[in-house]
Amino acid sequence: MSVALDLFSIVAIVAGAFFFFAGSVGLLRFPDSLTRLHALSKADNLGLGLIVLGLLPRVESLLGALKLLAIWALVLLSGAASAQLIGRALRRRGGDE
Protein backbone atom coordinates (compact mmCIF):
# COMPACT_ATOMS: atom_id res chain seq x y z
CA MET A 1 0.00 0.00 0.00
CA SER A 2 2.73 2.44 0.98
CA VAL A 3 4.65 1.61 -2.21
CA ALA A 4 1.56 2.45 -4.25
CA LEU A 5 1.12 5.73 -2.35
CA ASP A 6 4.80 6.62 -2.84
CA LEU A 7 4.46 5.87 -6.54
CA PHE A 8 1.34 8.05 -6.69
CA SER A 9 3.22 10.89 -4.97
CA ILE A 10 6.17 10.62 -7.34
CA VAL A 11 3.99 10.54 -10.46
CA ALA A 12 1.86 13.49 -9.33
CA ILE A 13 4.81 15.65 -8.24
CA VAL A 14 6.76 14.93 -11.42
CA ALA A 15 3.69 15.79 -13.48
CA GLY A 16 3.31 19.02 -11.47
CA ALA A 17 6.96 19.89 -12.00
CA PHE A 18 6.45 19.28 -15.72
CA PHE A 19 3.63 21.83 -15.81
CA PHE A 20 5.80 24.37 -14.01
CA PHE A 21 8.58 23.69 -16.51
CA ALA A 22 6.19 24.02 -19.46
CA GLY A 23 4.79 27.24 -17.96
CA SER A 24 8.29 28.68 -17.56
CA VAL A 25 9.19 27.77 -21.14
CA GLY A 26 5.96 29.42 -22.29
CA LEU A 27 6.72 32.52 -20.23
CA LEU A 28 10.09 32.82 -21.92
CA ARG A 29 9.10 31.83 -25.46
CA PHE A 30 5.57 33.12 -26.12
CA PRO A 31 5.42 36.25 -28.26
CA ASP A 32 3.19 38.68 -26.30
CA SER A 33 2.00 39.44 -22.78
CA LEU A 34 -1.44 37.80 -23.07
CA THR A 35 -0.08 34.44 -24.22
CA ARG A 36 2.65 34.63 -21.58
CA LEU A 37 -0.07 35.23 -18.97
CA HIS A 38 -1.90 32.17 -20.29
CA ALA A 39 1.22 30.00 -19.90
CA LEU A 40 1.81 31.27 -16.38
CA SER A 41 -1.71 30.68 -15.05
CA LYS A 42 -1.76 27.10 -16.37
CA ALA A 43 1.51 26.39 -14.58
CA ASP A 44 0.20 27.81 -11.31
CA ASN A 45 -3.16 26.06 -11.39
CA LEU A 46 -2.21 22.61 -12.65
CA GLY A 47 1.41 22.44 -11.53
CA LEU A 48 0.73 23.46 -7.95
CA GLY A 49 -2.49 21.38 -7.91
CA LEU A 50 -0.64 18.22 -8.93
CA ILE A 51 2.17 18.86 -6.43
CA VAL A 52 -0.37 19.38 -3.63
CA LEU A 53 -2.13 16.18 -4.74
CA GLY A 54 1.19 14.31 -4.61
CA LEU A 55 1.98 15.66 -1.14
CA LEU A 56 -1.45 14.80 0.32
CA PRO A 57 -0.64 11.12 1.10
CA ARG A 58 2.46 12.27 2.98
CA VAL A 59 0.84 14.68 5.48
CA GLU A 60 0.78 13.75 9.15
CA SER A 61 -2.66 15.09 10.04
CA LEU A 62 -5.98 16.00 8.50
CA LEU A 63 -5.32 19.65 9.40
CA GLY A 64 -2.07 19.54 7.41
CA ALA A 65 -3.94 18.21 4.37
CA LEU A 66 -6.56 20.95 4.70
CA LYS A 67 -3.82 23.59 4.92
CA LEU A 68 -2.21 22.28 1.72
CA LEU A 69 -5.57 22.39 -0.08
CA ALA A 70 -6.21 25.90 1.29
CA ILE A 71 -2.84 27.06 -0.07
CA TRP A 72 -3.75 25.70 -3.49
CA ALA A 73 -7.17 27.36 -3.38
CA LEU A 74 -5.63 30.71 -2.38
CA VAL A 75 -3.07 30.52 -5.20
CA LEU A 76 -5.89 29.67 -7.64
CA LEU A 77 -7.87 32.68 -6.44
CA SER A 78 -5.02 35.18 -6.51
CA GLY A 79 -3.63 33.78 -9.77
CA ALA A 80 -6.96 34.00 -11.57
CA ALA A 81 -7.69 37.50 -10.22
CA SER A 82 -4.25 38.92 -10.98
CA ALA A 83 -4.26 37.38 -14.49
CA GLN A 84 -7.60 39.15 -15.11
CA LEU A 85 -6.25 42.44 -13.78
CA ILE A 86 -3.05 42.27 -15.86
CA GLY A 87 -5.05 41.25 -18.94
CA ARG A 88 -7.45 44.19 -18.52
CA ALA A 89 -4.56 46.59 -17.94
CA LEU A 90 -2.93 45.36 -21.15
CA ARG A 91 -6.12 45.81 -23.15
CA ARG A 92 -6.67 49.29 -21.73
CA ARG A 93 -3.19 50.27 -22.76
CA GLY A 94 -4.12 48.88 -26.19
CA GLY A 95 -0.73 47.39 -26.83
CA ASP A 96 0.79 43.96 -26.59
CA GLU A 97 4.36 44.65 -25.67
Partner 1 sequence: MSVLQALDIGLALLVLAVAVWTIAAAEIFGAVVAYVAYGLLLSIVWVRLFAPDVALTEAAIGSGVTGILLVTSGARLNSAGKASAAAPPRLSLRLSAAALAIVAAAALAGVILTLPDPGPTLAPEARRELAATGLGNPVTAVLIAYRSFDTMLEKIVLLLAVVGVWSVAPDRFWGGAPAPLGRANPQGALVLLEQTLVPLGILVGVHTFWVGADEPGGAFQGGAILAAMWMIVMIARVSEPPSVNSRWLRLALIAGPGVFLVAGVAGLGMAGNFFAYPDGFAKPIILFIEAFMLLTIAATLPVLVAGPPRRSPKP
Nearer to partner 1 by Cβ, of 29 and 88: the residue is: 88
3-state helix, strand, coil in the chain (%, to 5): 90, 0, 10
**Does the protein bind partner 1 through residue 7 (CB under 8 A)?**
no
Say how far apart CA 24 and CA 8 lie, in whole Å: 24
**CA–CA separation, 17 vs 51, rounded Å?**
7
Q: Does residue 85 touch partner 1 according to CB under 8 A?
A: yes
Residues 62-81 that bind partner 1 (CB under 8 A): 74, 77-78, 80-81
Give me the residues that bind partner 1 (CB under 8 A), please: 74, 77-78, 80-81, 84-85, 88
